[in-house]
Amino acid sequence: MNRHRIDVNTARAVVVEARLERQPQDAIEAGVVLEAWGGMTSADALNLGRQVVAESRSRPHAARPQVSYSVPRERYLSLGLGLVLTLFTLATWSIPLSWRYEPAIVSDALRLALPITMALQGGLRRRYLARRGGLATMRPDGIWVLGGAVVGTLLLGITVGTAGWLAALLSVTWVGGSLLVARRWVWQYAILALAVTLPLFLSAPPMPVLLLAAIAMCVLVRAAILSEPERAHHPGPWLQVIIETIIGAFLGLILVLDDSVGYGMRNLLPAVTLLPSAIGVAWGGIELSELWTALPESLEGHSIFERNLGGRRWSGETILLRALSRVVMTSVVLGIPIFITANWFGGSKYAAMRLLIGFGAYGIVSLLAGLLSSLGYSPWVLGATGFGVAMYSFVDPAFSAGALIIVSITVLVLLLVPAMIILRRPARALATRMMIA
């Protein structure tokens, strides 16, 4: 498809409005879509984009669309609360689980469940939740997704044993919780988490309790999908879904491959020291959401070929640095009381300090990975996180959580440098974001 084989009406109806699901705002937006989806050069796409916009506005009742650049902050707050709830269950449920099972079984279960959960969350986010249709996009495939959860649970339990059953049930609950959060059913997730926590601490058999929790979560997820207002939109392409799933798995492996952290070893310290960075990531994510307002506003009225925006200040790097500073500040402020009371959680102050540093760096990694993936740089994130996983084969930590700290800081640098470079050119970042939307 090129400039000489496509007319204005076809470009408008078949390419631009079909992809945007609305009229183009201006020639820049139409040109980016034509270049991305029409196989055209930048110059031809921009020229045809001007004609598309002119033709759109010449039609009866056609008006310039009012596009809102704002991103609802409550969405990011819900996501943050969901992350904190998941880590709350990790911190609290590991205690009664260690009463009933050997510490090694609980450790293996948690170290299986976290990468599986993060992989599935990454894939589901790219396939369904990141689309304009939201959770409603998942409606046609909802039964298949729930069926896959059942089959995956059975396979993991049969092949791995007790640790596999625990990991599968925890993964179903945590992944389902992320879907409830996407529907903004945070309270439903919190109530279910509390309903599971109480019987576990009252010495109820963990396996039946977790099984009932997983079943209840599947019912809630199905209800959330059916209750979401229907908005027609296609799911994300499978190639992107596979890449995001692998990235999620790599991020989970970076978190659990350091044997010295000691997940589930009748020691609350690892789970508790995760909470400050998780809260910081949630707070930083709210600040980072400002990028989706600042990016288009800084470009409005300018050509895609302009590098200098006429003196208009672009604050992308500042927004990113503010988001990262929130993670650091939260980790420090909330980490101080954990450091002081480390003995209460079964560890030393020095172990707490090392874990706080490692998890703080990891929190920044997760924030940067999400940013770069949303801007279309998933292959780079895949390579950086994959390198981080590979580092565990030759990093020999001399102290507890040493490998986690070294790997997290290395991956942090690999992600931070390109993120800062990309945000120096907002036109390119916005164009990439539109291409993958």
Q: Are residues 139 and 186 in the same domain?
A: yes
Return the top range by mean pLDDT from 20-29, 39-48, 331-340, 345-354. 331-340
CB 422 within 8 A of CB 431: no
Interaxial angle between packed helices 42-58 and 27-38, expressed in degrees from 0 to 180 and rounded to the nearest 10: 130
Output the pLDDT for position 399. Answer: 61
DSSP 3-state percent helix, strand, coil across the chain (nearest 5): 75, 0, 25
Q: Which of 16, 32, 58 is the last residue of a domain?
A: 58
CB 289 within 8 A of CB 76: yes
Q: Are residues 44 and 92 in the same domain?
A: no
State the chain's maximal CA–CA distance in angstroms.
73
Identify the residue whose tokens are 């996501």.
Answer: 79
Output the pLDDT for position 61. Answer: 45
Q: Are residues 101 and 143 in the same domain?
A: yes
Output the pLDDT for position 203. Answer: 87
Output the pLDDT for position 216. Answer: 94
Range of the domain at 394: 277-299+311-436
Encoded tokens for 127: 């396939």
* Average predicted confidence (pLDDT) for the chain: 79
> Is residue 427 domain-resident?
yes
Output the pLDDT for position 254. Answer: 93
pTM for this model (two decimals): 0.78
What amino acid occupies position 244?
E
- Phi, psi dihedrals of residue 84, rounded to the nearest 5°: -65, -40
Listed residue (260, 416, 276, 254) closest to 357, CA to CA: 276
- The pLDDT > 70 percentage for the chain reads 74
> Is residue 344 domain-resident?
yes
Number of domains making up the chain: 3
Q: Which of 236, 263, 290 is the last residue of a domain?
A: 236
Q: Who wins on pLDDT, 68 or 106? A: 106
Distance in angstroms (rounded) separating the CA atoms of residues 255 and 347: 19
Q: What is the per-residue pLDDT across 271-323, written as a single tens digit (0 to 9) for each?
A: 788 889 888 988 888 888 777 777 666 655 554 445 554 444 557 788 899 99
> Is residue 78 domain-resident?
yes
Distance in angstroms (rounded) separating the CA atoms of residues 37 and 85: 40
Strand locations in 32-139 (E):
none
Q: Are residues 283 and 369 in the same domain?
A: yes
> Is residue 251 domain-resident?
no
The mean-pLDDT minimum among 172-186, 203-217, 421-435 falls in: 421-435
